[in-house]
Structure 1
Amino acid sequence: MNAAASLGMSAQAQTVGVMTALGESGLRVLDYGDEAGPDSRGLFQQRTSWGTLAQRMDPTASAILFFTRLQAVAGWEQMTPSAAAHAVQNNTDPDHYTEYFDAATAIVAALSGGAAPGGGCSVSADAMTLAQQIMTAHAEGRFTTLVGSDQPDHLPEIQAIANGQSLPDCGIDVGILQVMVVALNNFSSVGVSDINRLCTGQSLGAGATSSHNVDGGGHAVDFYSLNGAAISGADSDSLRLIGLIDPMMPKGSRVGQSDCRTNAGTSVTLANLSQFPDSCNHLHVDNAFAK
């Protein structure tokens, strides 16, 4: 799953990968092949043409080999999961992996904190509950907001919702609260720099047209750090978060930093999120255009 996320691939791709490994090896790194492929090795039973023995026997390296080939399959997202896997593996039976799909879906959902293909998400849909979870993480030192001389604190916006208060121009879209909770479910620490700029009186970047400001504000979140490290929108943690939230976001939602990823030589394949350029010192996610 991390290998797919590092390539900017979605939970849909992660599920295909887990399903394939279940069907090939039972999620075991096998040091032997079979009659059809005596030189097959590893999680995906990859043959010598795939890479070195060391690569095929390494879970991360072999998974990257698999997902790199999956990326090259045109239209794989529209195929059945087993057909997509078959296009990569070139196995005899195109339906061989179908029986493993439900188990793979459950595994990905459990390990990603609830985000699963098809928009499934086990995080709460209640704004107060979500805000309380974020404030608990803040008390534990796992959630921080960026504060500086020209950077007002956005934590009070979350605290107000956690307290059941409805303050004018200080609301936060439930979908944005869910994105923050999914991030907390999957990273040891999360840092946020911007949420509702109407609440703090900011007018940056796109100004009044920003999803931080329009329609009462609070329809976007900017992450500045994940796992205690600064992010750019093109780093592996940013790519992993994008892959986690894409299936749960409504069509028309957006993620920034497309130019940062292009300049870094990375890309993401997305089902729901559209992309736009933005500065490379954070990761922007918005729900403003999904209404």
Structure 2
Amino acid sequence: MGKLGGVALLIVLVFAFTGIVFVTGGGKNSCAVAATISPTTAADLEPVAGYFGDQLVNAAAIINAGAAAGVNVKGQTLGVMTAMGESGLRNIEYGDLAGPDSRGLFQQRDTWGTLAQRLNPTESAGFFFQRLVKVPNWETLTPTAAAHAVQINADADHYAPYYSKAESVVAALVGGDAACAASAVVGGNAQQLAADLVVKIDAGNITGIAPDHLREIRWTAAGEVHENCGINLAILQIITVAVNTFGSVGISDINRLCTDQYLGNPASSHWANGGGHAVDFFSLDRTPTTGADANAIKLLNILAPLMPEGSATGQVQCRADAGTSIDFAGLNQFNDGCNHVHLQVDPAYTGSLKAAPAQAPS
């Protein structure tokens, strides 16, 4: 990532309710919502994945339009990917044989809007996101399939080569890992977090197995109190970070006291102090996890700086056997089954995840 012209991009997100404040100095690996990217900042960046200057300014406009439309980082990345495939991130004023009236970043035809609207990067991106969010289960589709559902390109796989480049551009513009950015949209209201998660459950983005622990999320969302079936606020936040990062997750355990799954360990965070202080993910991005695979390491790297004192993760021996051992500062590790990722907070802890640390400007 290039210099930011000596001016650090500072984004402070303060939630009105008791929640988390995330601060970024715009430096590499800082956490930020891909929402308020300055065009000047984008223009000053060194080339990213072969894109530079006005192309990055246009990417910033797409990212900001996505934020305004309420889509997550994955959706914003899809927008950048699509414009790469349609116009090379250039706001072109001509079409092609298939669409002689196509114009702009997304090569939108005259049925999309006026010529002025289609040549306006923000408005044309807004048109794209308006249609994207109406695509059923767009978050679980492959990137090129989601884009094709909006654009109806002659080649359904046309956009596939651009997704990794789009990830690089989004990461550079937000000042860090795009997945890290997903962690910055987590608030601290348990019922609202649970309600947002129920939407993802109903959309198929969060799945479970028997016994049903997803009902614990539904009860929390509805404000229903069931004895020994609560969920720690930090665990709801962890689930939110995971699904925001990977688009879909599978959950096998939350509150084992609720489902009467006593496995011989009264100190287990699944069980102790009313239960619900741990979560087990059996899949990330619709891929089974061993706790030692790339997705598991990615999730742990995102969460480790945010976990409160006394938190822990399992599968340490799985990572040792796989050659992926890593020291997650502030996160204790212990042996556990290699068919999931286990994350827990101290059963006595009742607060939020920690704020992401600010980073120095690059």
TM interval, shorter chain, is: 0.5 to 0.7
Question: Which runs of at least 4 in structure 1 moved beyond 3 Å after TM superposition?
Answer: 15-18, 103-106
In the alignment, is residue 169 of structure 1 matched against residue 228 of structure 2?
A: yes
Separation of aligned partners in 2, 1:198 and 1:16:
42
- Residue 174 of structure 1 aligns to which amino acid in structure 2? L
SS in 1 for 2:175: helix
Aligned to 1:108: 176
Whether contact under 8 Å (2:174, 2:181) holds in the other structure is: no
Separation of aligned partners in 2, 1:220 and 1:145:
15
- Residue 219 of structure 2 aligns to which amino acid in structure 1? A
Mark the runs of 5 or more structure 1 residues left unpaired by the alignment: 1-11, 31-102, 116-120
Aligned to 1:217: 275
Deviations 1:211-261 (Å, cap 9, x if unpaired)? Answer: 100011000000000111110000011111111111111122001100000
> How big is the shift at 1:26?
2.4
Deviations 1:76-118 (Å, cap 9, x if unpaired)? Answer: xxxxxxxxxxxxxxxxxxxxxxxxxxx9795337652443xxx
In the alignment, is residue 288 of structure 1 matched against residue 346 of structure 2?
A: yes
Separation of aligned partners in 2, 1:225 and 1:174:
21
Q: Which has the larger radius of gyration?
A: 2
Pick aligned residue for 1:201 from 260, 275, 290: 260
Aligned to 1:179: 238
SS in 2 for 1:136: helix
Mark the runs of 5 or more structure 2 residues left unpaired by the alignment: 1-23, 31-41, 51-170, 350-362
Quick one: structure 1 residues 108 and 166, their matched pair in 2 at CA, closer, same or farther if it must change by over 3 Å? farther
Taking only aligned residues, the RMSD between alpha carbons, in angstroms, comes to 3.1
SS in 1 for 2:192: helix
- Residue 229 of structure 2 aligns to which amino acid in structure 1? C
Whether contact under 8 Å (1:198, 1:212) holds in the other structure is: yes
- Residue 28 of structure 1 aligns to which amino acid in structure 2? V
- Residue 176 of structure 1 aligns to which amino acid in structure 2? I
- Residue 336 of structure 2 aligns to which amino acid in structure 1? D
SS in 2 for 1:207: coil
Taking only the aligned residue pairs, the percentage that are identical comes to 42
Separation of aligned partners in 1, 2:248 and 2:295:
11
> How big is the shift at 1:272?
2.3
Of 121-130 and 256-265, deviating more is: 121-130
SS in 2 for 1:252: coil
Separation of aligned partners in 2, 1:222 and 1:186:
16
Whether contact under 8 Å (1:194, 1:221) holds in the other structure is: yes
TM-score by length of structure 1 reads 0.61
TM-score by length of structure 2 reads 0.49
Whether contact under 8 Å (2:29, 2:175) holds in the other structure is: no
SS in 1 for 2:252: strand
Provide the aligned length of Structure 1 versus Structure 2. 196
Aligned to 1:158: 217
Larger relative helix fraction: 1
Aligned to 2:134: none
Aligned to 2:65: none
